[in-house]
C-alpha cells in the first residue's frame, strides 16, 4: 500500500509532474505468492526512454535515512522504487525550472504488503528515503540507466531550500510523524 503523506498544508494530494505510482498484482496459490515487478508491456513504467538498464536492492535498518543530510538527484536517470520488505517513506522534491510542480514536495509511504506499488521518480528531482518500519527494509530499484557517478548530484537539504511549514526539509519531520527517535 502507498499513501501520499501531507506534512504541509499546501500542495495537498497533488503529485509532482512525472511521478507515477503503478500498482502491482499479487498472484497467489498454495505455494505462496508471485509478483511481477517490471514488464515491457507497462507503457507508463517501461518503454520509450524508460528502458531497463539494471536492478539492485538495498537493505536499510529501521529509522535510517539514505542520505541523511543531502538530497539525491540524477540528470538522465529515472528510478523505479519497489519495497520488498518493511516500509519506507520516499521524499521527492521538484526543483526543476519550468516544471508545473516546481517547489512541490511529495512524501510516499510504501509498504511491502498486499498492495505493492512501483514508484517512478522523474529525472532531475531530488529524492531520498527513510525506513519507518520496526524491521529492516529491502528496496528494489530498476533504474533506466546504468549507474554513472557523473549523472548523480547530491546537495545539502539547506541548499535545496525545500520547506515544510516554513522550515528546511529534514528527515526529522518524518521521524516525528512516525514517532521515531530524532537523530
DSSP per-residue codes, the chain:
-EEEE-SSSTTTTPPPTT-EEEE-PEEEETTEEEE----TT-TTTSBTTB-----EEEEE-TTPEETSSEEEEESS--EEEEEEESEEEEEEE---TT-TTTT-EEEEEEESSSS-EEEEE-TT-EEEEEE-SSS-EEEEE--SS---GGGEEEEEHHHHT-EETTEE--HHHHHHHTTPPP-
Question: Is 113 a member of any domain?
Answer: yes
Better-scored residue on pLDDT, 181 or 4 = 181
Is the model's pLDDT at 8 over the cut of 50? no
The count of domains in the chain is 1
Other beta carbons within 10 Å of 77: 19
Question: Is 183 a member of any domain?
Answer: no
Mean pLDDT, rounded, for 95-111: 91
Please answer whether residues 69 and 183 qualify as being in contact, where contact means their C-beta atoms are separated by less than 8 angstroms: no
Question: Is 17 a member of any domain?
Answer: yes
Please answer whether residues 40 and 46 qualify as being in contact, where contact means their C-beta atoms are separated by less than 8 angstroms: yes
Chain length of the chain: 183
Question: Is 69 a member of any domain?
Answer: yes
Question: Is 147 a member of any domain?
Answer: yes
Question: Is 37 a member of any domain?
Answer: no
- 22: CATH: 2.60.120.10
Question: Is 38 a member of any domain?
Answer: no
Q: How distant, in Å, are the alpha carbons of 37, 56, 116 from that of 15?
A: 22, 26, 18
What's residue 2's pLDDT? 45
Predicted confidence band of residue 4 (pLDDT cuts 50, 70, 90): low
Question: Is 135 a member of any domain?
Answer: yes
Predicted confidence band of residue 71 (pLDDT cuts 50, 70, 90): very high
Is the model's pLDDT at 163 over the cut of 60? yes
Better-scored residue on pLDDT, 47 or 131 = 131
Q: How distant, in Å, are the alpha carbons of 3, 4, 106, 117 from that of 181?
A: 22, 22, 22, 27
Across the chain, mean pLDDT equals 89
Mean pLDDT, rounded, for 32-36: 92
Range of the domain at 12: 2-26+43-177
Amino acid at each position: 500500500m502507498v499513501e501520499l503523506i501531507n506534512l504541509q498544508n499546501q500542495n495537498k494530494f497533488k503529485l509532482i509532474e512525472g511521478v507515477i505510482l503503478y500498482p502491482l498484482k499479487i498472484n497467489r496459490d498454495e505455494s505462496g505468492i508471485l509478483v511481477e515487478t517490471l514488464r515491457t508491456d507497462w507503457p507508463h513504467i517501461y518503454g520509450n526512454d524508460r528502458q531497463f538498464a539494471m536492478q539492485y536492492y538495498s537493505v536499510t535498518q529501521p529509522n535510517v535515512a539514505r542520505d541523511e543530510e543531502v538530497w539525491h538527484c540524477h540528470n538522465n536517470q529515472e528510478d523505479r522504487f519497489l519495497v520488498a520488505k518493511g516500509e519506507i517513506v520516499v521524499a521527492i522534491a521538484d526543483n526543476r525550472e519550468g516544471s508545473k510542480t516546481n517547489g512541490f514536495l511529495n512524501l510516499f509511504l510504501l509498504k511491502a504488503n498486499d498492495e505493492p506499488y512501483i514508484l517512478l521518480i522523474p529525472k532531475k528531482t531530488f529524492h531520498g528515503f527513510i525506513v519507518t518500519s520496526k524491521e529492516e527494509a529491502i528496496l528494489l530499484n530498476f533504474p533506466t540507466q546504468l549507474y554513472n557517478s557523473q549523472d548523480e548530484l547530491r546537495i545539502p537539504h539547506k541548499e535545496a531550500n525545500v520547506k515544510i511549514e516554513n522550515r528546511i526539509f529534514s528527515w526529522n519531520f518524518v521521524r516525528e510523524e512516525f514517532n521515531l527517535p530524532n537523530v
